[in-house]
């Protein structure tokens, strides 16, 4: 069957075209979808190209904070003075993702929908996430698998920017037919379950239109990422950390880990321990030690617990300077 390619000029037209044809897929940067099509993981009958829709572009200050259009590229976000100044963790997360060539094309909206990078899912295995009965990573090569928050499938959420968005209390704005909804980033992602193997809350035909970041009166944030090689690969573990201060004491904290769970993982115990504290070596050490309480590593990935704690410690000490 021939592939139908459409390039609507407005969001309303895009939504109409998507619903008019079975087997429709959204196309933004295409850095994940196109390789999946080549590998026959995804076989769309219609591609609805979003790149001509101007309303999905831009990075702009708003009364409430900052709006980032879903078509903003990772390079645009990483190089934005507005983002770097107010939401440093997001700029660094975008800079840490992929290679320069991919960042020039990849969009933030597409990144939120990035598919699993599990080699069993990407390979010729009838794995659970593809509708099979077995998660082969659980008993197989699981060095890069989840250590917490997993159910039947132990893949990890692959993206960098979502960790920062959760840490920054972002809202993800989506559109479906005539309805718009705003979802907190921390609620947008989900661990796949039997009967519903989605990795986020998007319904069929629903499209990300923008991301909204709130203002913070006195906040600092940072992003750290540990990889097998120095550049341009997926995180073994990453940490997006935000600290809000009242005077010299922490009024609120967000510690969000990547590479450890099927979703960006909120280390709530470590956050709670920082409230009301000065960022001292002692309070930082306690936050580090309480990161990933309840983790259940598999045969080959127990190293992730200590690696995550080290990244949290380094992030907090950097923010304390």
Write out pLDDT tens, residues 87-100: 999 999 999 998 99
Write out pLDDT tens, residues 173-189: 999 988 999 999 999 99
Tell which phi-psi region holds residue 232, choosing left (phi > 0), alpha (psi between -120 and 50) or beta.
left
Global pTM reads: 0.96
State residue 1's pLDDT score: 60
Domains in the chain, ordered, with CATH? 1-51 (3.30.43.10), 59-113+156-320 (3.30.390.50)
Contact call for residues 31 and 53 (beta carbons, < 8 A): no
| Pairwise CA distance, residues 224 & 33, whole Å | 27
Q: What would the two tokens of residue 250 be? A: 């922490």
| Pairwise CA distance, residues 96 & 77, whole Å | 12
Buried b (16+ CB within 10 A) or exposed e, 228-240: eeeeeebbbbbbb
Q: Which residues of the chain have pLDDT under 70?
A: 1
| Beta bridge partners of residue 184, listed in sequence order | 171
């Amino acid at each position: 069957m021939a592939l139908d390619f459409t390039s609507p000029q407005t969001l309303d037209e895009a939504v109409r075209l998507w619903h008019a044809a079975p087997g429709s897929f959204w196309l933004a940067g295409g850095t994940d979808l196109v390789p999946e099509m080549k590998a026959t993981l995804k076989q769309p009958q219609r591609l609805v190209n979003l790149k001509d829709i101007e309303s999905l572009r831009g990075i702009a200050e708003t009364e409430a904070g900052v709006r980032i259009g879903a078509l903003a590229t990772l390079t645009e976000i990483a190089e934005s003075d507005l983002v770097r100044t107010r939401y440093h963790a997001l700029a660094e997360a975008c800079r840490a993702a992929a290679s320069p060539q991919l960042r020039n094309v990849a969009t933030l909206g597409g990144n939120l929908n990035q598919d699993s990078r599990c080699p069993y899912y990407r390979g010729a295995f009838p794995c659970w996430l593809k509708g099979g009965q077995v998660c082969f990573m659980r008993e197989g090569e699981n060095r890069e698998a989840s250590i917490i928050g997993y159910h039947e499938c132990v893949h990890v959420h692959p993206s960098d920017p979502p960790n920062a968005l959760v840490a920054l209390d972002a809202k993800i704005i989506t559109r479906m037919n005539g309805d718009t909804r705003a979802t907190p980033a921390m609620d947008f992602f989900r661990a796949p379950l039997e009967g519903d193997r989605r990795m986020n809350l998007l319904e069929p035909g629903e499209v990300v239109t923008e991301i909204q970041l709130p203002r913070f009166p006195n906040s600092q944030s940072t992003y750290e990422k540990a990889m097998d090689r120095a550049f341009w690969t997926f995180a073994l573990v990453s940490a997006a950390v935000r600290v809000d201060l009242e005077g010299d004491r922490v009024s609120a904290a967000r510690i969000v880990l990547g590479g450890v769970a099927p979703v960006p993982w909120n280390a709530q115990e470590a956050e709670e321990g920082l409230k009301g504290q000065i960022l001292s070596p002692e309070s930082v050490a306690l936050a580090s030690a309480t990161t990933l309480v309840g983790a259940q590593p598999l045969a080959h990935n127990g190293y992730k617990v200590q690696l995550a704690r080290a990244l949290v410690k380094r992030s907090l000490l950097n923010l304390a300077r």
